[in-house]
Chains A and B, each alone.
Chain A
Amino acid sequence: MTQTARLRPFVTKGSRFNVRFPGTSLLSWACLISLMLILVGEVMGDEVQNLADLIDRRIEARWKSDGVTPAPRAGDAEYLRRVSLHISGSIPPVADARQFLRDESLDQRRRLVDQLLESPHYITNFSNFWTRVMMPESATDLQGQAQRPGFQAWLRQHLGNNTHYDTMVYELMTTPLAGDRSMNAALQNTGTVSPIAFFTTKQIKPENLAAATSRMFLGIRIECAQCHNHPYDSWKQEQFWGYAAFFAGIERTSRNEDVIGQVKEVFDRRELTIPDHETVVQATYLDGTQPQWRSRVTSRKTLADWMTAKQNPYFAKAVVNRLWGHFFGVGIVDPIDDFGGSNKPSHPELLDELAADFVAHDFDLKYLIRGITASHTYQLSSRKTHDSQNEPQQFARMAVQGLTGEQLFDSIAVAVGHLESFQQQQPFQLNQTGARGEFLELFAPDNNSPTERQTSILQALALMNGQFTSAATSLDQSSTLTAVAEFPWMKTPDRINALYLAALTRKPRPEELERLTKYVDSGGPAKNQKQALADVFWALLNSSEFLFNH
């Protein structure tokens, strides 16, 4: 289908060529071009496969040298659920699952990833992802929450266009701050599409911006050097303030600490005084090199040029590692934004090669995602089959990972056929009200690693007894359950199969099926088969298998 759609413009062109080259039929042109397209596709496809191979080569070499026995390759169902959660932010709907599980073609996993990357859910899921990275304040402070919509709109625009990562960060770093238009518009109309909230949530203070940008974009936690030389790392206080000096030109014009509405930017200010010290430091890059200053170019822009340059030693590695962490639960450097002296990468060559390849592909995020998800390493099962799989940074079995509130809510919504889900994701809604808002508040992710996610008692109570789960497992209110329980020509095992597919994206194992069929046929304590099916669905939705990605 896509093939024909792609060909259509060429076919029209071909007819014109047809006039100039009599004897060559339209059909043969079309054939030739489609062959060329396939070849191009092959070449592109090879690149993704090359990246995947690059990953597997390094990871496997380590298994060999350390005597690690990896887990087997994940089955299709396991892969489908995992990659859907990672890319589109929720489990797959039953219909998609059935279709995928029937597909026996060789490239089915790669095509699935392509589809997921083109779906609007990719945009939603990754705009949440990048918001958590760039504006962690939006989860914690009032001002951050208020400015989240405009920031997310900006992200969505770029993710929708697949703007390459360097361009996106450059735009963020250099976004205009001075003048009434930008700052006031963004503050007063919170729906304005702009990354400016990045600056306001950092109170547009040089030290806050320095700490945030170095950690988020370079993987360097230099902020500890703000007050004193870093105890464990080599960063010195002067280096911190030298980096902060790139933001020294931003000046608030209001004296009131609470008002950050008015800002001007002094183009050629390239130094600042360390607070409570006499020392004046010059703007200096973190790698120690001195900037090439140009007139009428702000220091901020000069910094952005250095930061997003292909030869920057930190930039590509930091983001490659961040995305690796998203897909594997653990970074090659972990914690993922701490490339400190004492925190060594588990696979240094791999990290270098990944970063170089990412740069060679112009910081294309979707390319990186395609490569990672095509790797054999990513496709391993999360089942533990050997003791040597215990070390998370061997990546010898997929880590069990916690879901974010959004992923959890949207997955429940998909499982039970709750249609409100997508509408509720409207980024322009300031106060996320309703079931989703309450849920997100309760399940706001802690900043612990996704492999060490903890459950609170209130979360457990909400999942066990809460209104939303109750509705999901009520025969009057749950679309999935009602359909499964009421459909006349199904036998009990079919019904259980359907519930498993809806919640866990897999079929029950024979012993599970036997056990549950017995339970449902007996009617459970309610002496009612439909109620007993509701009990099964309740257990599925409350299980670790449902509540985690694995």
Chain B
Amino acid sequence: MTDRARLTRRDLIKLSACGAFGSSMSRWLPALANEASKSPDRRRSVILLWMTGGPPQTDTFDMKPGHENGGQFKPIDTSVPGIQICEHLPQVAKLMQYSAPIRSMSTKEGDHTRATYLLRTGNLPQGPIDYPTLGSLFSKELGQENSDLPNFVAVAPYTQFSPAAYGPGFLGPKFAPLVVGDANRVVANGLGMNYDQSLAVKNLSLPQGINVERADARLSLLGDLESDFSSQRPGLNSESHQSAYAAAVRMMRSEAVKAFNLDDEDAKLRDAYGRNQFGQACLLARRLVERGVPFVEVSLNGVGNNQTFAWDTHAQNFTSVKSLLGVLDPAWATLMTDLKDRGLLDSTMIVWMGEFGRTPKINPQMGRDHFPNAWSSVLCGGGIKGGQVVGKTSEDGMKVDDRPVSVQDLFATMCKGLGLDSMKQNVSNVGRPIRLADPTAKPITEIVG
């Protein structure tokens, strides 16, 4: 394995002989999905549905009918008797047997920047330790070296609140996400509607005017320089440089990269996901998971051209949330049924959350403000015993009455559901070993394993 990570000049030349790739890969690709689901040692995948800005629990999974904090939306029955959720999630409601809403998230951090870091890394920003984002943390455990596609793909992250909460931290760039559909730039360029363009991998194709033959010649020249340099000045830097280049070339030339060609999908299925950035990104997530990518995150930053942090509904909460749910419901539900149809739901855990919830009390602008004390997240699919609700909040939604769940508890639960040992340690940038989840964390055992 390490031999393969270290790239010699010969390897670069071999890589550049693209013919070898073309034929050998096309043979096994059609059987890909089936094999992926059957293989006994297939590890689990995760799709994180990240709700930028903090979604209101009282208008989604923890309805408070009859109370003044309940707001304008009505609860509806779901496929599981006794569990009710918001009327604007009708399709998700029909799949409740696969889902476990956690109504008792309790986290103590109400600032976007710090809460984003907390929920995405499991820790508050703490001095010099650069904690990795959960995608880097889990994909490191679930992924395989030298795969055609990167082990962690992030679709349209809106990173402005806390860029560090989206990075690989002390695990290093090797575990950084492949980012497609940069929401930060989408906002700047008004590309919100132009989702196809925004879901492509940047710089994946050769520069204009450079054909494969030229590219091969260039890589071969580079190979000479690299072999000279690393024989004279051996070290981690040039090794990492070479293995990143090898992975990039491998991806550029792999069949698997076709995962990004959404046009290959049936138009009806694309419609079902929703013809918007989030819907199509969920479809992309399925295509990536199908090709073995162990961690994909998809952000719901907004609707239409407002792709920032639309869940941050300090004013006119109900209008905004209704349109957000209109995007979320079909995309999420279609993702689950699509995965189910392909036999992949059992091995794919879906995590729905934001950085905090929103105040049960409705403010004078008909908005809801930041609320970390008692809010909801949802785990579904692979490794999760769905059809049950975790925890309970008070009648007014102001506090957790039963089974408070901390960030670390949530991380430990994910570990358990994914079959990972939460006591596994990584060495941090300060030399101190850090576990996947804190030893004091209590996984929610009733919904996993």
Contacts and interface: CB of A to CB of B under 8 A. Distances in A.
Given A257-B110, A447-B429, A538-B218, A384 B233 contact: yes
B431 A335 contact: yes
A337 to B, nearest CB: 7
Interface stretch (B28-36, B40-48, B163-171): B163-171
Nearest to B162: A141
Given A141-B113, A447-B130, A465-B207, A544 B170 contact: no
B247 interface: yes
A254 interface: no
A448 B168 CA distance: 11
B128 A447 contact: yes
A338 B430 contact: yes
Contacts of B229: 543-545
A535 interface: yes
B244 A457 contact: yes
Contacts of A143: 113
Contacts of A526: 214
Most chain B beta-carbon contacts within 10 A, residue among A211, A401, A539: A539
A457 B179 contact: no
A458 B208 CA distance: 18
B213 interface: yes
A382 interface: yes
Given A446-B173, A448-B429, A525-B217, A221 B127 contact: yes
A74 B348 CA distance: 55
Contacts of A428: none
A545 B222 CA distance: 10
A362 interface: no
Interface in B286-303: none
A455 B224 contact: no
A383 interface: yes
Contacts of B163: 139-141, 444
Given A335-B431, A454-B173, A462-B203, A446 B244 contact: no
A457 B178 contact: yes
Given A457-B248, A462-B203, A548 B214 contact: no
A436 interface: no
Interface in B184-210: 201-208
A277 to B, nearest CB: 18
Given A384-B233, A446-B173, A215 B128 contact: yes
A127 B232 CA distance: 33
B160 A446 contact: no
Given A460-B248, A545-B229, A451 B203 contact: no
Interface string A448-473: 10011111111111101111011001
A461 B252 CA distance: 9
A8 to B, nearest CB: 47
A432 B168 CA distance: 23
Given A141-B162, A454-B174, A543-B226, A446 B213 contact: no
Interface string A516-547: 10010000111000010001101110111101
Size category of the A interface is 35 or more
A539 B244 contact: no
B276 interface: no
A312 B117 CA distance: 36
Contact of A539 (B202, B207, B225, B232): B225
Contact of B430 (A142, A221, A464): A221
Interface in B143-172: 150, 160-164, 167-170, 172
Given A211-B127, A384-B233, A452-B236, A461 B201 contact: yes
Given A140-B162, A544-B229, A456 B173 contact: yes
A361 B238 CA distance: 38
Most chain A beta-carbon contacts within 10 A, residue among B111, B128, B206, B245: B128
B235 A142 contact: no
Nearest to A337: B128
Contact of A547 (B111, B206, B208, B241): B241
Interface string B216-258: 1110011011101110111111101111110111011000000
Most chain B beta-carbon contacts within 10 A, residue among A141, A211, A221, A467: A141
B203 A466 contact: yes
A204 B251 CA distance: 46
A258 interface: yes
A127 B128 CA distance: 20
Contacts of A524: 214, 217
A446 B168 contact: yes
Nearest to B204: A461
Contacts of A401: 237
A252 to B, nearest CB: 14
Contacts of A467: 203
Nearest to A519: B221
B365 interface: no
B320 to A, nearest CB: 21
Interface string A338-379: 100001000000000000000000000000000000000000
B430 to A, nearest CB: 7
B126 interface: yes
B244 A459 contact: yes
Interface in A478-532: 512, 515-516, 519, 524-526, 531
A215 B429 CA distance: 14
Query: Which 4 residue pairs are nearest across A and B when measured between Cβ atoms?
Result: A456-B173, A539-B221, A455-B244, A140-B164
Interface of B: 110-111, 113, 125-128, 130, 150, 160-164, 167-170, 172-174, 176, 178-179, 201-208, 211, 213-214, 216-218, 221-222, 224-226, 228-230, 232-238, 240-245, 247-249, 251-252, 429-432
10 contacts: A139-B164, A446-B170, A446-B173, A455-B245, A458-B176, A461-B202, A461-B248, A465-B205, A525-B216, A526-B214
